[in-house]
């Protein structure tokens, strides 16, 4: 986390930046399931016992999960100013006014979190998959208190 003071007119305002490990969940599932089907198809071509095929497929699951994470991981940068939240992920930037956020829903999962930013307007929420699988720690534990500091309600899902 870094805090930078940037001049804005005659005032100074603080911008806080958080690096969050994210994952393209759709591509992750396609690589994992596609790999399982591919390994199953290849194993079906060999005259092995069914037990050997099943055990081999089970031992491939962790390797395929690691591969799927490595191929689909990305890092997102969350910049929080007093009035806006700017999220940059895979060269795409989303800027959300803090006043427009009704609440943040944090769905905890074994491999990470689904962070959903619900807005006051009728338009749909923003969803971000946080990844914890095979990754170093990120700034997520510092981001949640910052939401509370901005008086954004956090709801556990």
Nearest to 135 by CA among 22, 17, 1: 22
Predicted confidence (pLDDT) per residue in 94-122, tens digit = 888 888 888 999 998 878 888 999 988 87
Domain ranges of the chain: 2-26+72-156
Instruction: Give residue 15's pLDDT band: very low, low, confident or very high (50, 70, 90).
Output: low
How many whole angstroms separate alpha carbon 88 and alpha carbon 95? 9
Q: Residue 39: what pLDDT?
A: 95
pTM here is 0.73
What does residue 12 show for φ and ψ, rounded to 5 degrees? -110, 135
Predicted confidence (pLDDT) per residue in 35-82, tens digit = 999 999 999 999 999 999 999 999 999 999 999 999 988 888 999 887
Q: Residue 7: what pLDDT?
A: 43
Give the three-class secondary structure for 28: helix
CATH number of 2-26+72-156: 2.30.29.30
Report the chain's C-alpha Rg in angstroms: 20
Q: What angle do CA 37, 41, 46 make, to 5 degrees?
A: 150
- Name the strand (E) or helix (H) holding 117: strand 112-119
Q: Residue 148: what pLDDT?
A: 87
């Amino acid at each position: 986390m870094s805090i930078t003071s940037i001049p804005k007119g005659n005032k100074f305002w603080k911008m806080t930046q958080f690096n969050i490990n994210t994952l393209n969940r759709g591509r992750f599932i396609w690589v994992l399931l596609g790999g399982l089907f591919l390994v199953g198809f290849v194993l079906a071509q060999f005259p092995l016992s069914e037990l050997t095929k099943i055990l081999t497929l089970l031992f491939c699951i962790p390797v395929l999960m690691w591969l799927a994470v490595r191929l689909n991981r990305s890092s997102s940068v969350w910049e929080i100013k007093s009035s806006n939240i700017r999220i940059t992920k895979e060269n795409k930037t989303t800027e959300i006014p803090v006043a427009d956020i009704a609440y943040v829903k944090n769905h905890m999962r074994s491999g990470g979190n689904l962070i959903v930013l619900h807005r006051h307007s009728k338009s749909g929420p923003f969803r971000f998959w946080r990844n914890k699988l095979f990754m170093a720690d990120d700034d997520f534990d510092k981001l949640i208190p910052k939401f509370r500091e901005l008086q954004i309600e956090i709801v556990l899902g």
